[in-house]
Structure 1
Amino acid sequence: MNHFFNPLYLVKLMVKILVLFYGYGSIVELAREIAKGAEEEGAETRLRRVRETLPEEYIKRMHIQPSDDIPEVSLDDMRWADGIAIGSPTRYGNMAGALKTFLDTTAELWMKGELYGKPVTFFTEASTVHGGHESTILTMSTYAYHFGMIIVPVGYSIQELFNTTTGGSPYGASHLGIKKELDENERKIARFQGKRLAQVAKKLSS
């Protein structure tokens, strides 16, 4: 039978996308938009957060509201996924420590080559235009090189990336934090990124 008409083949093409992040506020909304874009492409998604590592007194002092409604990520989530999106707000041009702590626990995946060849994409948030949008994504991406993953950038693929008053870059979706809420351009870029990740995962899976 031609595989195009084989129902089992079509089921196989429904890829699984993990959207993994650290943070709160706009980074959570970016994660949700990326998941939404992947779902529009027909993917099954999981939205997961990494465990908070900041001291409790600091969390209270800074009025941080963790996303407790979203489950914590596990290594099994990483194994489950055909494609992964990883996000963090910038911390002085780098990923947040909590995300780094989680990624440091994935050594057993590395030793078994369980993420090798999987597509991965990155997203971030920074308060100012030059506050780390690009460097944070670049520093997160070094993880992918060590695991042999396939980095899926946004590229200059949609018109919204040419708007200079919003977040987003060819490296990945981002939020310009001087605005409290995501603007429509940022939402469109994030949804496109999720859709593109699902498309690449689908091609690799097929």
Structure 2
Amino acid sequence: MTAVLVLYYSKTGATRQMARLIARGVEETGAESWLRTIIDGEDDPKVTEQELTQACALALGSPTRFGGMAAPMKAFWDETAPQWLAGSLVDKPACVFTSAASLHGGHESTLLAMMVPLLHHGMMLLGLPYTEPALHSTQTGGTPYGPSHWAEHQTISSDEKALCLAMGRRLGHIAQALAK
């Protein structure tokens, strides 16, 4: 079974909601999703080093903090030198997603910042192609760099939901194709 790790940090729950939608999209492809967080005490289990290296693909989510990923997520990646040295994430597909308190609060810069450690690990990054109709109609969040959510709105909008599901399906399909 192709396992996709959906790894997130969430302070208020919005990023967690997005992670669950992405995981559902992954599962729609027939792949298995491992929904994990980077800290203890969340609704989902904390990721293990073994899960990080054994997963065939990664979806990574963090809230936006001043245009970048949240400090706990940055600290998590700062501790992955052993995986980097071993090359254990090389050639695995990955995507990123975020939630921000304001519409212009750094959605895209956060997504780009989260891509940097993944590139250093040799991962293959996926975005959302403009063939996704919700990218043309969204009034809240969503970018070609990955799904985003405008957290001023308490619930995930229909466009944001569609983009999260589409991202999960894309990641699941590509992970399975590469695993063959």
TM range (shorter): over 0.9
Superposition misfits of 4+ residues, deviation over 3 angstroms = none
Paired residues for 1:135-150 under 5 Å: 135-150=109-124
Q: Specify the SS of the correspondent of 2:69.
A: coil
Q: Distance in 2 between matches of 1:91 and 1:163?
A: 26
Q: Distance in 2 between matches of 1:109 and 1:203?
A: 23
Paired residues for 1:32-181 under 5 Å: 32-51=20-39, 68-181=42-155
Instruction: Give the Å deviation of 1:158.
Output: 1.0
The answer to whether structure 1 residue 15 and structure 2 residue 2 are counterparts is yes
Q: Distance in 2 between matches of 1:105 and 1:157?
A: 37
More strand by share: 2
Instruction: Give the Å deviation of 1:160.
Output: 0.7
Q: Specify the SS of the correspondent of 1:90.
A: strand
Root-mean-square deviation (CA, aligned residues, Å) is: 1.2
Query: Which residue identity is paired with 2:2?
Result: V
CA contact (8 A) 2:35 2:44 kept: yes
Q: Specify the SS of the correspondent of 2:58.
A: strand
Q: Specify the SS of the correspondent of 2:65.
A: coil
CA contact (8 A) 1:155 1:169 kept: no
Q: Distance in 1 between matches of 2:27 and 2:74?
A: 27
For the structure 1 residues 109 and 195, does the alpha-carbon distance in structure 2 shift closer, same or farther, using more than 3 Å as the test?
A: same
The equivalent of 2:167 in structure 1 is: 193
The equivalent of 1:5 in structure 2 is: none
TM-score of the two chains, using structure 1 as the length reference: 0.84
Unaligned runs of 5+ in 2: none
CA contact (8 A) 1:118 1:201 kept: yes
Q: Specify the SS of the correspondent of 2:97.
A: strand
TM-score of the two chains, using structure 2 as the length reference: 0.95
- Matched residues, percent identical? 41
Query: Which residue identity is paired with 1:22?
Result: Y
- Greater shift, 146-155 or 30-39, is seen at 146-155
Unaligned runs of 5+ in 1: 1-13, 53-66
The count of aligned residue pairs is 179
